[in-house]
């Protein structure tokens, strides 16, 4: 349809029909399905009326349901306006790739693109029009369960990975039934909730908001994301969905966003709980005034918007503007001509879990795993004959993460299945040893597990955190391995020191004690469908670990929030940690340093950083500086290495980070191979947000280094001249 035809359609609509376009309902109100919701159900409204006027639904299961929903709506809607069908496809629809936090550890946008492209194809076949993805909330506190859902504590990684996902998901033409629209979330700073508690208050200066939290959303919008979802949290006193500064001043006017804003699940209704709205009618008014176009579930808009217009409290122009945004999105998706879009039961069968998609998921699981420690026990040699798989995750199949689609866990390859497939000759025994639930104290299985360890020549100890303990509404105050897992680990390692630990978890865990006693630790996160295959290939050396931490791993929960790119303070703790002078910014009972820092990860080979050179030692804003970093693979096998470039602005008008990742490149080197990696530093990369919130660079001295955070090397300086 043309813009004129859309306008004509809207002009023909009654006020109730217009409001209906701004209402999103649960698919489960209109079809029976097993979708668990992450919010209150509330009283369900008359579904016949809703079905006639509603503009969109969320959370359906497959192409058949997608078509049924569309058919029953269009049969009832006299204006024949097709539904938008939306779904959380966060890291795969049926073929599940690793959680976003794991993908961040791959430092690989190409891999992200492959995974997102796979998810796009499966989602389109399922009948999805909009995915509530990417989530690019910067997260620096592992107590927050949704840290698993973002890529990093660093906005550069979140922005690059999020933008790659948007481009691969939307591609060039949304009317192509194989393409779907992205909704970037949760705008803004949802990951900065006080105490690491989900949905909690966020108080941030505008400067830090712009420096650390807004860039990744902006990168996704620059990549073309068509929708934005405001976050549940209040931001500096006003919940995002009603925050005029955030939504109108920044998003609409400063960034020029003209797409659709959809609330999070009942976030409009929750303005009453926040205490900024007197009642649901007040909440609807506030959200509409802030430019929230669609009310997700719970129906504040459905119940009150029309009356607010009739009573003159909301201008109909505001409704019309929101409705046009929704109609334009439907039109861009080609739904008026093809309301089913890509829904196709045959394609679902062809694409879901197909070998090509499994291969992508397996490679992603391999490249996002991080080898945290290895005293040489890994990779397991061919000498392994009797292998004991011990621990609560030894035979676990729930390895796909909180935001995988319901039932996707059943497709996952377990650790023993992966090992048997790769090494059929190895005799495998298994022992659970203990549970992994918070508060689980049952140690009765530990003795038998230790005994199984004793009888094996090698042990793989599979530990972690249950899939449902990281994710929405899953904040934790303690971050050690839950249940008696450490007791199990001590007993097994005592019984057989030839033990390698594999971790399956969503949030970063506190591994301080484990790191002291375990000879090797391989962090697999929630690796997705091909979990066991990837883990087996990594453990036996068919694949070489290359992941680098995209988040800091703390020594204790008390260190959070924690980020590698922190300012210095006036009394920095001297490094290495010394107790020489107590009056510094430090803890009495713990170092400031993380257990494993951002950018860290081991390989089965070694990389020597031989030189960092620059083509000049000064630049003007119009110029650039070329940086060349020479790396050699000095080990005995090929491997991938993420060469990281860090910058430090030595003196500026506001405090600066002690280090800031400004670029990175992933390379593959054969044994003995040397490669020089080139970067180009531009003035924009030297900018920061000033005290009065201008995005500027200032003349002065800058340091550049490589290596990884807290372990920088080959440092060089240059000057920016103005
Ligand atoms: C949830 C989440 C959001 C998700 C939405 C729809 O509560 O906060 O990320 O997209 O509801 O499921």
Question: Residues 406, 428: one domain?
Answer: yes
CA of residue 659 to ligand 1 center, whole Å? 34
Distance CA 631, CA 561 (A): 33
Q: Is the CB of 38 under 6 A from ligand 1?
A: yes
Q: Of all residues in the chain, what percent are helix, strand and coil, respectively (each to 5)?
A: 35, 20, 45
pLDDT of residue 382: 74
Question: Residues 430, 483: one domain?
Answer: yes
For the segment 509-517, the average pLDDT, to the nearest whole number, is: 98
Q: Is the CB of 201 under 6 A from ligand 1?
A: no
Question: Residues 321, 426: one domain?
Answer: no
Domain boundary among 297, 327, 352: 352
pLDDT confidence tier of residue 471, bands split at 50, 70 and 90: very high
Quick one: which atom of ligand 1 is closest to the CA of 38? 7
What angle do helix axes 3-11 and 316-332 make, rounded to 10 degrees?
Answer: 130
Any idea which residues carry the catalytic annotation?
A: 264
Q: Is the CB of 91 under 6 A from ligand 1?
A: no
Question: Residues 610, 642: one domain?
Answer: yes
**Cβ-based burial of 95 (10 A; exposed 0-12, middle 13-18, buried ≥19):** buried
Quick one: which atom of ligand 1 is closest to the CA of 149? 9
User: What is the number of structural domains in the chain?
Assistant: 3
Q: Is the CB of 185 under 6 A from ligand 1?
A: yes
Q: What is the pLDDT of residues 146-177, one digit of tens each?
A: 999 999 999 999 999 999 999 999 999 999 99
CB atoms inside a 10 Å sphere around CB 110: 10
Taking the alpha carbons of 209, 642, 535, 557 in that order, is the dihedral positive or negative? negative
Q: Does the pLDDT at position 196 exceed 80?
A: yes
Q: Which residue's C-alpha comes closest to atom 11 of ligand 1? A: 265
Q: What is the pLDDT of residues 99-130, one digit of tens each?
A: 999 999 999 999 999 999 999 999 999 999 99
Question: Residues 499, 385: one domain?
Answer: yes
pLDDT confidence tier of residue 20, bands split at 50, 70 and 90: very high
For the segment 366-391, the average pLDDT, to the nearest whole number, is: 95
Q: Is the CB of 367 under 6 A from ligand 1?
A: no
pLDDT of residue 546: 98
Q: Is the CB of 60 under 6 A from ligand 1?
A: no
Q: What is the pLDDT of residues 79-97, one digit of tens each?
A: 999 999 999 999 999 999 9
Q: In terms of Cα–Cα distance, which of 248, 255, 264, 186 is closest to 224?
A: 255
Distances (CA, A) of 461 to 290, 510, 518: 52, 17, 10
pLDDT of residue 383: 82
Q: In terms of Cα–Cα distance, which of 236, 135, 139 is closest to 187?
A: 135
175 occurs within a structural domain: no
286 occurs within a structural domain: yes
3-state secondary structure (DSSP) of residue 508 = coil
For the segment 194-205, the average pLDDT, to the nearest whole number, is: 98
pLDDT of residue 39: 67
Question: Residues 458, 525: one domain?
Answer: yes
Q: Does the pLDDT at position 47 exceed 90?
A: no
Question: Residues 696, 654: one domain?
Answer: yes
Q: Does the pLDDT at position 36 exceed 60?
A: no
Strands of 23-26's sheet in order across: 260-261, 227-230, 181-187, 130-131, 84-87, 56-58, 23-26, 295-296
Q: What is the pLDDT of residues 447-458, one digit of tens each?
A: 999 999 999 999
CA of residue 245 to ligand 1 center, whole Å? 23
For the segment 383-403, the average pLDDT, to the nearest whole number, is: 96
pLDDT confidence tier of residue 710, bands split at 50, 70 and 90: confident
Question: Residues 325, 375: one domain?
Answer: no
Q: Is the CB of 39 under 6 A from ligand 1?
A: yes
Domain boundary among 506, 525, 551: 551
pLDDT of residue 299: 87
pLDDT of residue 38: 67
For the segment 563-592, the average pLDDT, to the nearest whole number, is: 86
For the segment 528-552, the average pLDDT, to the nearest whole number, is: 98
CA of residue 231 to ligand 1 center, whole Å? 9
461: left (phi over 0), alpha (psi -120 to 50) or beta: beta
Residue 313 belongs to domain with CATH number = 3.20.20.300
77 occurs within a structural domain: yes
pLDDT of residue 574: 80
CA of residue 265 to ligand 1 center, whole Å? 6
Domain boundary among 302, 323, 352: 352
For the segment 259-267, the average pLDDT, to the nearest whole number, is: 97
For the segment 186-204, the average pLDDT, to the nearest whole number, is: 98
pLDDT confidence tier of residue 16, bands split at 50, 70 and 90: very high
Structural domain range at position 403: 361-551
Q: Does the pLDDT at position 33 exceed 70?
A: no
Q: What is the pLDDT of residues 298-353, one digit of tens each?
A: 789 999 999 999 999 999 999 999 999 999 999 999 999 999 999 999 999 999 99
Q: Is the CB of 264 under 6 A from ligand 1?
A: yes
Is 0.85 topped by the overall pTM? yes
pLDDT of residue 41: 60
Q: In terms of Cα–Cα distance, which of 519, 520, 383, 514 is closest to 457?
A: 383
Show the tokens assigned to 272. 């009453």
Question: Residues 523, 657: one domain?
Answer: no
Percent of the chain exceeding pLDDT 90 equals 94
Question: Residues 408, 327: one domain?
Answer: no
CA of residue 38 to ligand 1 center, whole Å? 7
Residue 704 belongs to domain with CATH number = 2.60.40.10
624 occurs within a structural domain: yes
546 occurs within a structural domain: yes
Q: Which residue's C-alpha comes closest to atom 12 of ligand 1? A: 88
pLDDT of residue 32: 72
For the segment 11-23, the average pLDDT, to the nearest whole number, is: 97
Q: Is the CB of 149 under 6 A from ligand 1?
A: no
CA of residue 89 to ligand 1 center, whole Å? 11
pLDDT of residue 413: 98
510 occurs within a structural domain: yes
User: What is the length of the chain?
Assistant: 722
Distance CA 637, CA 673 (A): 10
Residue 414 belongs to domain with CATH number = 3.40.50.1700
CA of residue 87 to ligand 1 center, whole Å? 9
Ligand 1 pocket test, candidate residues 147, 183, 190, 265, most atoms within 8 A of CB? 265
329 occurs within a structural domain: yes
Q: Which residue's C-alpha comes closest to atom 8 of ligand 1? A: 264
Q: What is the pLDDT of residues 478-490, one digit of tens each?
A: 999 999 999 999 9
Ligand 1 pocket test, candidate residues 39, 56, 227, 264, most atoms within 8 A of CB? 264
Q: Is the CB of 265 under 6 A from ligand 1?
A: yes
Distance CA 387, CA 433 (A): 15
Quick one: which atom of ligand 1 is closest to the CA of 135? 9
Q: Does the pLDDT at position 579 exceed 70?
A: no
pLDDT of residue 35: 58
pLDDT of residue 192: 98
Query: Lowest-pLDDT range, 38-42, 68-72, 704-708?
Result: 38-42
577 occurs within a structural domain: no
Question: Residues 348, 382: one domain?
Answer: no
Mean pLDDT of the chain: 96
Question: Residues 348, 388: one domain?
Answer: no
């Amino acid at each position: 349809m043309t813009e004129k035809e859309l306008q004509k359609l809207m002009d023909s609509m009654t006020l109730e029909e217009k409001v209906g376009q701004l209402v999103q309902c649960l698919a489960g109100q209109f079809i029976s399905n097993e979708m668990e919701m992450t919010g209150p159900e509330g009283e369900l409204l008359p579904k016949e009326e809703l079905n006639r006027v509603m503009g969109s639904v969320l959370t359906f299961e497959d192409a058949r349901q997608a078509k049924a929903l569309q058919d029953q709506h269009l049969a009832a809607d006299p204006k024949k306006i097709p539904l938008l069908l939306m779904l959380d496809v966060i890291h795969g629809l049926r073929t599940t790739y690793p959680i976003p936090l794991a993908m961040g550890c791959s430092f690989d946008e190409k891999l992200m693109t492959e995974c997102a492209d796979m998810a796009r194809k499966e989602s389109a076949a399922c009948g999805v029009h909009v995915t509530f993805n990417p989530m690019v909330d910067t997260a620096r506190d592992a107590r927050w369960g949704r840290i698993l859902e973002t890529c990093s504590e660093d906005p550069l990684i979140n922005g690059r990975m999020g933008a790659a996902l948007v481009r691969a998901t939307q591609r060039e033409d949304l009317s192509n039934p194989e393409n779907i629209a992205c909704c970037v979330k949760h705008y803004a700073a949802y990951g900065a909730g006080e105490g690491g508690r989900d949905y909690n208050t966020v108080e941030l200066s505008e400067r830090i908001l712009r420096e650390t939290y807004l860039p990744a959303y902006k990168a996704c919008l620059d990549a073309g994301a068509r929708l934005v979802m405001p976050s549940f949290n209040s931001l500096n006193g006003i919940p995002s969905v009603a925050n005029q500064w955030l939504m109108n001043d920044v998003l609409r006017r400063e960034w020029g966003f003209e797409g659709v804003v959809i609330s999070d699940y009942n976030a409009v209704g929750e303005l009453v709980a926040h205490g900024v709205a007197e009642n649901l009618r007040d909440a609807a008014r506030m959200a509409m005034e802030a430019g929230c176009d669609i009310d997700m579930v719970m129906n504040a808009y459905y119940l009150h918007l029309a009356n607010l217009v009739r009573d003159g409290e909301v201008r109909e122009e505001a409704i019309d503007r929101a409705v046009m945004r929704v109609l334009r999105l439907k039109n861009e998706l080609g739904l008026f001509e093809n309301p089913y879009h890509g829904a196709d039961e045959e394609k679902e069968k062809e694409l879901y879990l197909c070998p090509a998609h499994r291969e992508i998921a397996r490679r992603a699981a391999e490249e996002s795993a991080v080898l945290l420690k290895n005293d040489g026990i890994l990779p397991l040699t061919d000498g392994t004959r009797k292998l004991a798989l011990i621990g609560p995750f030894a035979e676990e199949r729930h390895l796909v993460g909180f935001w995988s689609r319901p039932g996707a866990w059943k497709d996952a390859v377990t650790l023993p299945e992966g090992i048997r497939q790769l090494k059929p000759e190895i005799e495998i025994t298994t022992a659970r040893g203990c549970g992994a639930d918070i508060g689980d104290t049952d140690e009765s299985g530990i003795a038998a597990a230790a005994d199984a360890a004793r009888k094996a020549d090698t042990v793989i100890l599979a530990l972690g955190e249950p899939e449902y303990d990281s994710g929405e509404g899953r904040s934790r105050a303690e971050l050690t391995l839950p249940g008696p897992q450490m007791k199990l680990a001590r007993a097994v390692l005592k019984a057989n020191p030839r033990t390698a630990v594999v971790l399956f978890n969503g949030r970063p865990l506190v591994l301080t004690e484990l790191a002291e006693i375990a000879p090797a630790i391989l962090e697999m996160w929630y690796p997705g469908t091909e979990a066991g295959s990837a883990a087996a290939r990594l453990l036996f050396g068919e694949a070489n670990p290359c992941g680098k931490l995209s988040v800091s791993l703390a020594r204790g929960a008390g260190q959070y929030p924690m980020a590698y790119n922190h300012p210095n303070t006036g009394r920095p703790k001297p490094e290495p940690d010394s107790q020489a002078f107590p009056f510094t910014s430090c803890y009495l009972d713990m170092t400031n340093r993380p257990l494993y820092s951002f950018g860290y990860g081991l390989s089965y080979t070694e990389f020597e950083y031989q030189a960092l050179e620059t083509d000049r030692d000064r630049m003007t804003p119009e110029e650039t500086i070329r940086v060349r970093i020479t790396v050699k693979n000095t080990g005995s096998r090929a491997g991938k290495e993420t060469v990281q470039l860090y910058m430090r602005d030595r003196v500026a008008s506001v405090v600066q980070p002690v280090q800031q990742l400004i670029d990175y490149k992933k390379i593959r080197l054969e044994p003995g191979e040397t490669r020089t990696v080139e970067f180009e530093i531009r003035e924009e990369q030297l900018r920061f947000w000033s005290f009065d919130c201008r995005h500027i660079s200032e003349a002065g001295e800058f340091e550049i280094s490589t290596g990884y955070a807290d372990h920088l090397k080959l440092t060089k300086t240059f000057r920016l001249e103005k």
